[in-house]
Structure 1
Amino acid sequence: MSDRRVFRWATTSARMLIGTAVSIIAVVAVVTAVSVPWPTVARTPLSVTAMPAPAASLIACDGPLLAIGRNPADAAAVDVVAPQSVVVGAGDDAAPQEQQLETVDVGPGPLAYTAAPADGRAIEVAATGAATVSADDLSGYAASACRPPLLDSWLVGGSAATGAADLVLLANPGTVPATVQLTVYGAEGPQSPPGGVDLVVAPGTQRIVPLAGIAFGEETPVVRVSAVGAAIHASLQASITRTLTPGGVDQVGPVPQAEASQAITGVTVTRPSGGDGASDEVTVLRMLAPSATTTARVTVTPVGRTEPAREPESVALEEGKPLELALPGLEAGSYTVTVQADIPLVAAVWQATGVGEGDDFAWYTPAPEVSVPSLFATPGGPTPTLSVVNPSSDPVEVAVTPADGGSPLDLTVPANGSVAVRLAARVLYTIDPGAPVRAGLSFAGDGALAGVPVWPADVATPEIVVYP
């Protein structure tokens, strides 16, 4: 081998060794760079905390009791049969401004109330109305709370079967038009009927939609009300006539949202099931799981006790299809019906004094959680009873105080228990719980039955963070 060849081989080997070493060093450097934290510069973004100006508090009522089909020449005509008497009040002794809404093609409709903010704070306003009617085609007592308008809500109750003359009421107390979509959940699942699509509700008006026009033949409908442009106060007037005998009337308020746990309190049984003039099915629970199939657990507990009145039941719910469960065997008294599932659902309880002449019924809707001092009003009519449910494992102190400065009622609600107390009619009250509770008003008298859940105050203005 020549010296030149030896030199070339040595040079090439050196280059290979150098290249290999460089590659190894590069790999080690990359691995080290990945595994070892690099120096970072942490910079907190600029932010400004601001308190937005409080808005005016706005609520709308359901309005007078209505009757449809009284005019033989115009079966779709709606008539006012009984005015609604409203008890209203506001916090800080403020005087809320009253607005009269116009019911389309009927005339003067429900009232709406606005409380302007004062001293940089929102002012809470509360109102509850009641009406009584005794006629050949409509009879009974109805009580309902005036509620803030919502962009999305549920109406759980009513029927579109033979004998029912139910009406969906859509009130727009705002200043701009609202476009409403009604989705009906029935035996075939959710439907968007032509009569419930793109309904325009002008500002300052209430629009009436017969339930039979959007859910014909449905015995257990649930209606979802969705609005754009402006929030809507939705409610349902339910009534029934058996043969030629009116069987009661009620105004059913909205359920604001589906929840995995629903507590319906103050359900008042006036006669034991199977008693004189009563039916075995005067207490019926309606449930809907709108988004998925699930199993609901139903518990019925007498107010003032912790032991269930009947064995808890597990009920399979099919997605988008309402289901009714009869709750027979209940003695006369007041009850809380709790429905729990793994996914959000909506529910309500139908309760009747009986199924004969002179009887009435009520739809009891879920009571939302109340964790802050909140106003509510008691209307005229039968003596109101307030039921308070404590879902926690510790006792809760609750103060119920008349807004006119009367002596407070101090209640101790036991852990996982409930209490009931009688209140005065036509009075504004404040409920102040030491921990979250659920509460509802119930009214029972001769040929009269109604229930109204207590909603929490919604006047707190939270701080917002602005990032420039």
Structure 2
Amino acid sequence: MSNTSGIVRVGSVALVAAALAVGATRVSGSVQLATAGERAGLPESSSVLVDEASLVCPGQQRLGAVGLRDVPGTVSVAAAAPESGVVAGAPAGGAGSVRLSLGTSSTGLAQTSSADSLATAEVSTPEVVVAAGKDALAPGLAATQVWRHTGDDDRGLALTPCQLPSSDVWLVGGGGGASRTERIIVSNPGANAVSVSVDVLGRSGRIEGAADRSVPVPPLSRQVISLDAIAPDETSPVVHVVATGGVVSAVLDEQWIVGATGRGIDDSTRAASPGTDLVVPGVDAAARIWLRLANPGDTEALAQVRLLGTKGVEQPAELRALRVPAGSTLDVPVAPSTTSGLGIRSDQPLVASAWAERRAKTGDQMGDFAWTPAAPAIRGVAGVLLPGLEGATKRLLLTAGSAPSTVTVRLGGDGASKVSTVQVAPDSTTVVDAGDATAVWVVPVKGTVRGAVSVTGDDAGVPFYSVAPLVDAPVRALSVPVRQVRN
């Protein structure tokens, strides 16, 4: 009896370890138990293709914040798995499904069983949306949410990649003044309640008391928190969301109005974890661009910012040595002459994101803006979907590391997809015209590369603009064999 109990305990530990490594992915299969001390026939841990994956979309982000005006509207959500050949090792023609579901009822919104065919739905209620891939359509799953509002002061475009949940999320965005409102949307895709704390850094340091309160998020639900209530009048906020008891997805939705003039709307998604070597990809040349840096540590940071543009690397003198006080944020203007990535090196770990604005040239100069967070390098497959954006200009922006990079780019649409091999020079950015693509897939072949997709256009002469960073899709998970051991 004691031996049996020992087997159960060891097996449970191994399976829990595997589940923690997988996160929102799952690998099915049998569990093998060897006799005590036996190793023959049981492989070491290995990486295998996932057969279930889930991404979390915030849903209609302009609803549900206590103290803020609700803005009615509809978001379009799309989910898809890449077509055969994109994910290395995936069998061709395998059966599977991609499904969109809504909130606590798990109401089915849309489903597809074809690779590279979009499951799309419109959502107008304040509920979390989950995109789930199963079996052959789980590896490489991507999902994107689009808010587009025209004609009044609530106008703007927000292109929001749906995300794998995490227990630790950094969000960079927002500003001061009564005309800017920010909502932190925290979504819980799990079956158990989760508690989150929200810490805010600002120009003068940490906002006192912000992290002292715990916010419960029920299962398959979301909470919308007003950043203005936590950090009133902070001009350069950076938000740190930490979950206890589970994992969450979080975005920072921002609206800016000056008087009766709409300046735009955008969602800030998860920035790369604090690091000493960061890259913000896909910063379009625009009239006004700012880089926001945050130092979460206890020691002042000395940072250098380089422009990684289409013509190579530039080092503006004013960005050569920037001091970021401990526990504080810093906004610095940048002026790239071309589309560029921003390379940030520092002696202390930092968090970073860039803000760019486009305005109409006549009238009251209404406009739109975009936040582009520092992004990790793409390791496997990354995708962005572009539903309902006909007539917009879509561009893929790829920024390489210190060595040359090669990627395979696949642009999907109503007809046959277009596949190309793209070379990116060291410390520079390459721009790929995405045409009328409804899906953009990137697979690294050689070197280190980061990327984003920008969408621009105009409504009656007023610009709309958003940028979606490329992040790794769920492709593989850790498979851990279970062995019997002696008590």
Q: Fold match, TM over 0.5? A: yes
Corresponding residue for residue 336 of structure 1: 341
- From 103, 113, 116, give the equivalent of 2:131: 113
Distance 1:235 1:83, change over 3 A: same
Offset from partner CA, 1:296-350 (integer Å, 9 cap, x none): 1011232x2114174442101111100111124x44x422111111232101111
2:60 aligned with 1:64, yes or no?
A: yes
Corresponding residue for residue 14 of structure 1: none
Corresponding residue for residue 351 of structure 1: 356
Distance 1:430 1:413, change over 3 A: same
RMSD over aligned Cα atoms: 2.8
Instruction: Return the alpha-carbon distance in structure 1 between the equivalents of residues 238 and 212 of structure 2.
Output: 13
Offset from partner CA, 1:142-163 (integer Å, 9 cap, x none): 1111111111010111124321
Distance 1:102 1:192, change over 3 A: farther
- From 438, 450, 454, give the equivalent of 1:438: 450
2:325 aligned with 1:313, yes or no?
A: no
Instruction: Return the alpha-carbon distance in structure 1 between the equivalents of residues 131 and 260 of structure 2.
Output: 38
- Mapping for residues 252-267 of structure 1, pairs under 5 Å: 252-267=268-283
The 8 Å contact of residues 98 and 138 in structure 2, kept in 1 or not, is answered as no
Instruction: Return the alpha-carbon distance in structure 2 between the equivalents of residues 188 and 143 of structure 1.
Output: 31
1:378 shift after superposition: 2.9
The 8 Å contact of residues 150 and 256 in structure 1, kept in 2 or not, is answered as no
- From 351, 364, 369, give the equivalent of 1:361: 369
Distance 1:96 1:466, change over 3 A: same
1:425 shift after superposition: 4.3
* Greater alpha carbon shift after TM alignment, 168-177 vs 218-227: 168-177
Corresponding residue for residue 410 of structure 1: 421
The 8 Å contact of residues 288 and 323 in structure 1, kept in 2 or not, is answered as yes
Stretches of structure 1 lacking an aligned partner (at least 5 in a row)? 1-44, 70-74, 274-281
Secondary structure in 1 matching 2:314: coil
Distance 1:384 1:171, change over 3 A: same
The 8 Å contact of residues 63 and 110 in structure 1, kept in 2 or not, is answered as yes
Distance 1:112 1:66, change over 3 A: same
TM-score (norm 2): 0.75
Instruction: Return the alpha-carbon distance in structure 2 between the equivalents of residues 138 and 113 of structure 1.
Output: 27
Corresponding residue for residue 285 of structure 1: 291
Instruction: Return the alpha-carbon distance in structure 1 between the equivalents of residues 77 and 236 of structure 2.
Output: 30
2:403 aligned with 1:387, yes or no?
A: no
- From 418, 424, 431, give the equivalent of 1:420: 431
Letter in 1 for 2:324: L
Corresponding residue for residue 408 of structure 2: 399
1:418 shift after superposition: 2.3
- Mapping for residues 44-443 of structure 1, pairs under 5 Å: 49-50=44-45, 54=50, 56-66=52-62, 76=67, 78-91=69-82, 94-101=96-103, 107-118=125-136, 123-134=139-150, 136-191=152-207, 193=209, 197-270=213-286, 273=287, 282-291=288-297, 292-302=299-309, 304-308=310-314, 310-311=316-317, 312-328=319-335, 330-331=336-337, 333-354=338-359, 356-381=364-389, 382-393=392-403, 395-402=404-411, 406-425=417-436, 427-435=438-446, 436-443=448-455
Secondary structure in 1 matching 2:229: helix
Letter in 2 for 1:111: V
Identity of aligned residues (%): 22
Offset from partner CA, 1:434-456 (integer Å, 9 cap, x none): 12211111122221111111002
State how many pairs are aligned.
Answer: 401
Distance 1:206 1:407, change over 3 A: same
Instruction: Return the alpha-carbon distance in structure 2 between the equivalents of residues 266 and 149 of structure 1.
Output: 24
Instruction: Return the alpha-carbon distance in structure 1 between the equivalents of residues 468 and 71 of structure 2.
Output: 22
Distance 1:80 1:175, change over 3 A: farther
Instruction: Return the alpha-carbon distance in structure 2 between the equivalents of residues 143 and 196 of structure 1.
Output: 32
1:391 shift after superposition: 0.6
Distance 1:423 1:173, change over 3 A: same
Letter in 2 for 1:158: G
Q: Higher relative contact order by CA 8 Å / sep ≥ 6: 1 or 2?
A: 2
TM-score (norm 1): 0.78
Offset from partner CA, 1:201-250 (integer Å, 9 cap, x none): 11111211011011111110111000012211100111111122221111
1:415 shift after superposition: 2.6
Secondary structure in 2 matching 1:225: strand
The 8 Å contact of residues 359 and 368 in structure 2, kept in 1 or not, is answered as yes
The 8 Å contact of residues 153 and 254 in structure 1, kept in 2 or not, is answered as yes
Distance 1:78 1:208, change over 3 A: farther
Rg larger in structure: 1
* Greater alpha carbon shift after TM alignment, 159-168 vs 228-237: 159-168
* Greater alpha carbon shift after TM alignment, 373-382 vs 233-242: 373-382
Distance 1:260 1:147, change over 3 A: same
Offset from partner CA, 1:148-207 (integer Å, 9 cap, x none): 111101011112432111111111122111100001112342246368721011111121
1:466 shift after superposition: 6.0
